[in-house]
Structure formats: structure tokens, C-alpha cells
Chains A and B, each alone.
Chain A
């Protein structure tokens, strides 16, 4: 504890995970350290457990062995989780029976300026999620977790289904906002060029996953 500076912000220690007892291991002995404000890309072939690891790191899944630490303490099970995740399918991440306004303000109240920078239009607020496109919904999913309590953001292939122009826009906004808020970033992607462009370090999960 003397070398506090060296303590990683997000630490996954010897994580082993499988979906149910007696099913094959998805993750085995995975150790990952990310410093605060660091931007790490997680790459690897399909099916090697990238999304599962993301779920574990954000507290969606509980690992069978090992533990995830945030700033030296185990990840809280209840209350607001400092590690938030944005997924690949925005249409599954919003309640189809809520208006966009309510979805956006589920946990904090984003200011007008942020919404403008994110390209979220005022007239979208009164619509239902089915009336917006995937890219438009993804902007809402990003904006709603940029609250002050979020310290670390996991982006699980958030731009795979978007066209290249929207991809570029979203990444630019996301980098600006996370930098100005001092958030760390874990980016899961198949796109090596994107990983090199956005992140400071690239980790290949197939190399650290022992199964």
C-alpha cells in the first residue's frame, strides 16, 4: 500500500468464469491491470471471451474464481457501479416502453452542451426507442453513462454496426468526453486500426486467457 501510485485503478485478478457448473470454462486465470485514465484495447479472435470478460469487469457477471478490484476495493455489488459498460446492441440496452428522455436521465441529468456535442437532437427526446436508428440509440446509451459517478468505461464493440462516418463521430466524441472527465477506457474491438488509433495499449485476450 506504500506504492499507491502503482496500484492499478481496475484490477482483475486470476478471473475464472463459466456460465454454469460443469460447462466449459470461458475464462481461466485471466489477470488484467488498467491504470486510471489509461486507454486499453482488448482484442482477440471471436469466441475467446472478450465480451464475457467485459461483463465480469462491469459487474454483470460474477466470476467463479478471482475477483475484480476497483481502486483496491472489490467491485460493489449494489449501488452505482464505477465501471460501466456500453454494449454492441443499443436496441437491447434501452427499455422499449420508455421514452428517450427517461432513458437518457435514468441515473444522471446530462447538460445541454453535452447532448449537443453528442449530436442528440431535442425532438428525439419524446420518441420511443423503436423510432430511432441504432446509431442514434447508441448516442443515448453513451450519454447516459457519462455521469460523474462513472470512473471507467468499457466499450464492447460499440461501433461495429455503425457506418464509418458515424463510427468516427462517436469515437471522437467519446475520446473528448472521457479525457475531459478523466475516465479510463477499455475498448473491445476487432478493428486493429481503431485500436491503434484510440488506445495507448493493446492487450490480446487469447494470450492472457489460459483456456
Chain B
């Protein structure tokens, strides 16, 4: 007659898993929206208009305008969009380099391992910003230079992680058996190692992203990145420094906040993904 009473806690909708997925989703939506808005925007939206220069934030110009009357709201979005594009490209390239080097080092061992470790130590030994400036300068500055610089300098940490993860199973019985079944080391890397390193790798890629954006902005701010006419967060911030002493606070505050928001969102997404993909905390 009576239903068996199963004592069960009322299900909480906002459990940890849902919260994490929501945070990650929100971060990606924000970044994709900024990226798309920036790419589809017509350059007139942040064009020069001398009749409206140095306007403080108002309804028409929510972030104010700069010394050439350019609307800072649209300029910031376009700039952040450029930064995100560079960051995405750079973290993709860097992470692939890290995956290839890390797996080769772990599987080949010997001289290959020592060479990769030496490269990692070499790159980590040079101050990062100096390396960025050097490469950007060598590649002729501009968008190409800064992209190459950011892409080629973010792999060492991830290489170490991938290598350590692959070393854990290098001498596992099933990997040895795979070799005895006639598999080459490349097949072993693809079939056995990649699934093993994938969680660490994905988190590494996401956490690389904010680094890449910050470094892109920093190199541009120092004058080795994008040229002045291209809206990039670094260019905007370095221009605004000239006017901040005369009280034009909006030119630095809003673009700075947008950059901060993008970086923090990505960082939050990465940290949360780390918790979700780690088997020890994934089901909490």
C-alpha cells in the first residue's frame, strides 16, 4: 500500500557539478561573444570624430571617447577580440608543441629526453617578457610578431606536465605488451599516451589562454606588438597612460576592467575544469 520510503536528500539543483558547468559555459559565451562582436564590427563604430573628443562616459559613449573622439566602448571590444584571437591561436600552437615534445621525451627517453628537458630549462631560464620582446622584434613586430612570440614561448610548463604524466605509464604492463604486439612508439603514443595525458593537457590549454592574452597586451603596451592604429588592449592602455594625469580616467579603467574580466573568466573556467576532470574531485 504505502510507498517504500527511500530516505533521500531533496536534490539540490545547484550542485557543484552544475555550478562548474555553468561557470565554464558563461566564460566561453562571454569570450565567444566578444570575439564575434569584434570581428563583425564595422571600423566606423570606432572611427575618428574630432567633434566628440575627450567625452566622459555618457549614454551615447558608455566608455567615453579618446583624444581623437573614437568611441572607447567599441574600440575596447575590438581590441579584446584581437587579443582573444591571438591568445587562442597562441595557446593552440604552444599546447601542440608541448604535447609533441612531452610525449617524445617520455617515450624515447635517453638523448631525446635530455634534449627536451634542456630546451625546457633554457626557455624557462630566460625572463619570459624578454624572450617575447626578442621574438616579436625578430619577426618584425606587428600582429605577426606578437602572435609568433606568444605562440612560441608558452610551451615549457605544459611540456613538463605532459612528460610527467606520460612517464607514469611508460613502463606499465599494457604499454610493454603493446610494444610486444608489434606497435611502434608512435602508435603507442597515439593510442595509450594521449588518452592518459588528455585531462592534464586540456586544463593546461585553458590555463595557457589568460597568460597568452596578458603577454600579448604586455608586449603591445611596451611597443613591440600591434601598431598604434590597430585597436588592441595593450595599445589602448599605453595611449591612455598619456592622459591619465589630466583626469581622463575612463580611457584606462574600462578597457583594463574588460581585460581583467576576460582573463579571470578563463582562469576560473580552467580551475573549475581541473576539479571536474580530476577523478578525485569530479563527483563531489
Q: Name A residues whose Cβ lies closer than 8 Å to a Cβ of B.
A: 58-60, 78-81, 84-85, 87, 89, 92-95, 97-98, 106-107, 145, 149
Contact = CB atoms under 8 A, between A and B. Distances in A.
Nearest to B177: A93
B282 interface: no
Interface SS of A by simple majority: loop
A59 B173 contact: no
Contacts of A87: 173
22 contacts: A58-B180, A59-B180, A78-B184, A80-B181, A81-B181, A84-B180, A84-B181, A85-B180, A87-B173, A89-B173, A92-B172, A92-B173, A93-B173, A93-B174, A94-B174, A95-B174, A97-B195, A98-B195, A106-B178, A106-B181, A107-B182, A149-B182
Interface of B: 172-184, 192, 195-196
Given A95-B192, A98-B195, A60 B180 contact: yes
* Interface-centre pick from B180, B182, B195 (highest chain A CB count, 10 A): B180
Contacts of B174: 92-95
Nearest to A102: B191
Nearest to A84: B180
Nearest to B179: A78
Contacts of A80: 180-182
A107 B181 contact: yes
A149 B183 CA distance: 14
Nearest to A129: B174
Contacts of B175: 95
A137 to B, nearest CB: 11
Nearest to A95: B174
A106 B192 CA distance: 11
* Interface-centre pick from A85, A94, A98, A106 (highest chain B CB count, 10 A): A106
Nearest to A149: B182
